[in-house]
Amino acid sequence: MSFTIASQVTFEQDIKKSRFQAIAVPVQSEQAVKDFLALHKDNTTTHQCWAWKIGNNVRFNDDGEPSGTAGRPILATIEGNELSNILVLVNRWYGGIKLGTGGLVRAYGGCAGQCLLLAEKIELIIKIKVSFHCQFNEWAILQYELNQQQIEFEEHYTDTGVEVKASLQMPEIAIWSLKIQDISRGREQLRILEEPEDD
């Protein structure tokens, strides 16, 4: 089971005269990450280090800090909290006292961790795109069920019936697969169009 955060949160702390500010935000795509980082570009900072995870994709950046002392500890904090679809940015304003590699790892990872403690975790609901075909007389029953369960769908009428695309949560797939076979008396199958990005 994966989680994300409900909304953006911020945490600040001073460590040996350096100021650290962590911002955690839910993101749905790499473009959303780029947009957020562009919007939060701050030339007054000494370093802007970050990490993000969306599904199985991860990236991190040390932004001039010694390799492995900033981005990776931030990512470790994200993964340690079982989070996905999230970006954590940690800004540092250097205060004149060097922290050393161990100190940097603790500072970046710790600040990110404190920030995530403030966030409300919500279950990440993975939806899978599926499609099926049905005859016109079967569509009334299936359409009613889709609406009752508040499932997103699009319908396209063809000469032979209705082609339907829907977004289902994992547990709904087996149920809908049986339902379509049942209503079409074994003639139609539920087809999965996209594998989920998350695991």
Q: How far is CA 79 from the centre of its chain?
A: 12
pLDDT digit string, tens, across residues 17-55: 999 999 999 998 899 999 999 999 999 999 999 999 988
Residue 22: predicted pLDDT: 97
Q: Are 23 and 69 in contact (CB under 8 A)?
A: no
Domain ranges of the chain: 3-123, 127-192
* Closest C-alpha among 68, 86, 89, 108 to residue 29: 86
Q: Answer yes or no: is pLDDT of 197 > 70.
A: no
User: How many residues are recorded in the chain?
Assistant: 199
Do the Cβ atoms of 197 and 155 come closer than 8 Å?
no
- 3-state SS assignment for residue 104: helix
Q: Domain 3-123, CATH 3.90.180.10 — does that match? A: no
CATH architecture of 127-192: 2-Layer Sandwich (3.30)
With b for 16 or more beta-carbon neighbours within 10 A and e for fewer, the 173-187 pattern comes to eeebbebbeebbeee
- Neighbouring-strand partners of residue 123: 3
Task: Locate 122 and state its tokens.
Answer: 């919500």
Give the model's confidence band at 62: pLDDT under 50 very low, under 70 low, under 90 confident, else very high: very high
pTM score:
0.69
Q: What is the pLDDT of residues 79-135, one digit of tens each?
A: 999 999 999 999 999 999 999 999 999 999 999 999 999 999 988 877 788 899 999
- pLDDT per position as a tens digit, 127-171: 788 899 999 999 999 999 898 888 889 999 999 899 999 888 777
